[in-house]
Amino acid sequence: MASDSSADSASEPDLLTIAFALVAERGWSGVSLMALAERADMPLIEVYRQLPDRRAVLRALSERIDQAMLEVDQGELEGLPPRDKLFELIMRRLDALAPFRAGLARLQRDARRDPCVLLPITCRLERSLRLMQELAGLRSHGVRARLQRRALLAVYLRALRTWFVDDSGDLAKTMAELDSLLRRIERLAGLRAPRPQASPDDEAMQPA
């Protein structure tokens, strides 16, 4: 019986993907419980359980992208300087956003008329950036960490703007822009790897 239920859940349509397909077609105002239920061919009550309102759609997206970032193999990050770790983590987020890009682009346009549309995502970005700091081996608490998150937020949003219009198959434009942005804030935001401490023998060899 357990295998049957797991098979049923695996065959269920992905409501988040459907929601952003509707956003791409109809705009943010065109997303509703009824529209989701009709497109997914699911009972209204089941849609409500998963995504009770439009804010829940944005919360679910944030959680999915955070989970994709948290699934990174720590071995791939080991030994990299903080800037390169952040590059890998941000690119993982953008890769995870790929299925929703058309809907997000439409959402961004709709937000120009109603900036409050993006509030649920903006509020959760603080948590996402804190997770990013921890994964990159950076401090996530204190004044310096908060200032660092502001710099990373600016980098992330600029990289997103490039990503929206990047028509290269390998996201070369986005990666080049992200690398440039991270290098630009590297010193200011404290992203440089700490210098290894000199051993006593090394110090003894220094000229007087």
Indicate whether 166 belongs to any domain.
yes
> Exposed, middle or buried by CB within 10 Å (0-12, 13-18, 19+), for 16?
buried
Per the prediction, the chain carries an average pLDDT of 86
**What is the mean predicted confidence (pLDDT) over 25-31?**
93
Indicate whether 132 belongs to any domain.
yes
Indicate whether 101 belongs to any domain.
yes
Indicate whether 44 belongs to any domain.
no
Indicate whether 32 belongs to any domain.
no
Indicate whether 39 belongs to any domain.
no
Indicate whether 73 belongs to any domain.
yes
Indicate whether 4 belongs to any domain.
no
Task: Give the pLDDT confidence of 29-79 residue by residue, as tens digits.
Answer: 999 999 999 999 999 999 999 999 999 999 999 999 999 999 999 898 999
Helix axes 143-165, 172-185, angle to 10 degrees: 160
**HEC string for 28-76:** HHHCCHHHHHHHHCCCHHHHHHHCCCHHHHHHHHHHHHHHHHHCCCHHH
Q: Is the pLDDT of residue 100 over 60?
A: yes
Structural domain count of the chain:
1
pLDDT of residue 196: 47
**What is the mean predicted confidence (pLDDT) over 8-14?**
70
Q: Is the pLDDT of residue 24 over 90?
A: yes
Specify whether the CB–CB gap between 139 and 57 falls below 8 A.
Answer: no
CATH number of the domain that residue 163 is part of: 1.10.357
- Residue 95 lies in domain: 55-185
